[in-house]
Amino acid sequence: MSWADGATRVAVLTGAGTSTDSGIPDYRGPSGVWTRDPALADAFTHRSFLADPAVRARFWQTYLGHAAWQAEPNPAHRALAELEQSGVAVRVLTQNVDGLHQKAGSSPRKVLELHGTMHEVVCTGCGTRTPSEQTLARVAAGDGDPRCLDCGAILKLAVVLFGQHLDAATIGHAERIAAHSQLMLAVGSSLQVEPVASLCAVAVNAGNRLVIVNRDPTPYDDLAVEVIREPIGTALPQICAALAAQVDSGAPTSP
């Protein structure tokens, strides 16, 4: 892992493949959500969600029994939390909405949730945010299209749907992290969803090293100094251990 030498500022872009070992299916893999049911993508399109009560009802039912509610962090999540604790300046830029990085022990302020979180619900009218449990309890009780109790507007999970713009401040923050990190690890992401995938190019254009850990080829493989096809639950702990060992050996780290 010569590409890891001297890397004390590390950005880690994580995608759905990082959470599959926790029992959460990815989206585009052989058993992915969209692969098994392409029509379900309609429920995750912002325009359709807002326009059609039936789409909203299907969306809420999908999340009511989602595997992520019971999921526990896997070795990849824990390895990143341990890397932070070792003293390496690591920031996690995640496309995932499951909160497993924080549950594993990564500092919430060092995890940037690029696509939002499933643990909160936001009102599309007044913007009020509430814990998801409250709305899901209403769905479980038979409310297929829950509305805001304050203003009556449509409620949605605080996740970014297809066709919905990412928060400009969040993506700008992510770009700054990618540009200033000596090493960018892209883990478990198809790197097909923009603008998040382009964070890889931001890192490389700033002169930093890009390493991709993913089962399948990605559009950014040619920019990487290393592409690793090993299972994430094996590869990422090994990478994190190598980076942490540099701290143990006395290599300087950034705050």
Q: What CATH number is associated with residue 57?
A: 3.30.1600.10
CATH number of the domain to which 89 belongs:
3.40.50.1220
189: left (phi over 0), alpha (psi -120 to 50) or beta: beta
Q: Note the helical H segments in 105-189.
A: 132-140, 168-180
Token digits of residue 90: 């690591």
Rounded to two decimals, the pTM is 0.90
Structure tokens at 252: 């300087």
Question: How far, CA to CA in Å, does 195 sit from each of 91, 114, 179?
Answer: 18, 10, 15
123 and 218 part of one domain: no
- Point out the annotated binding site for Zn(2+): 123, 126, 148, 151
Per-residue pLDDT at 31: 53
User: If pLDDT is split at 50, 70 and 90, which confidence band does 27 have?
Assistant: low
Q: Are residues 171 and 202 in the same domain?
A: yes
Shared domain check, 83 and 6:
yes
**Catalytic annotation, pick one of 115, 119, 165, 180:** 115
What is the number of structural domains in the chain? 2
Q: Rounded to whole angstroms, how far apart are CA atoms 41 and 245? A: 43
Q: Mark whether 213 and 235 lie in a shared domain.
A: yes
Do 241 and 191 lie in a common domain? yes
Residues 138 and 208 in one domain: no
Do 124 and 173 have their domain in common?
A: no
Tens of pLDDT, residue by residue over 53-104, are 999 999 999 889 889 999 999 999 999 999 999 999 999 999 999 999 999 9
Q: Are residues 91 and 43 in the same domain?
A: no
The pLDDT value given to residue 162: 86
- Pair 108, 126 in one domain: no
Torsion of CA 48, 64, 111, 161, to 10 degrees: 0
Q: What is the pLDDT of residues 190-240, one digit of tens each?
A: 999 899 999 999 999 999 999 999 999 999 999 999 999 999 999 999 999
Binding residues: 123, 126, 148, 151
The whole domain housing 102 covers 1-24+73-115+166-255
From 99, 129, 159, the end of a domain falls on 159
2 and 41 in one domain? Answer: no
| CA separation for the pair 186, 200 (Å, rounded) | 8
Residues 80 and 147 in one domain: no
Query: pLDDT by residue (tens digit) across 28-48?
Result: 555 545 455 666 666 678 999
Of 127, 143, 159, the one marking the end of a domain is 159
Active site residue 115: yes
203 and 7 Cβ atoms separated by less than 8 Å? no
35 plus 134 within the same structural domain: yes
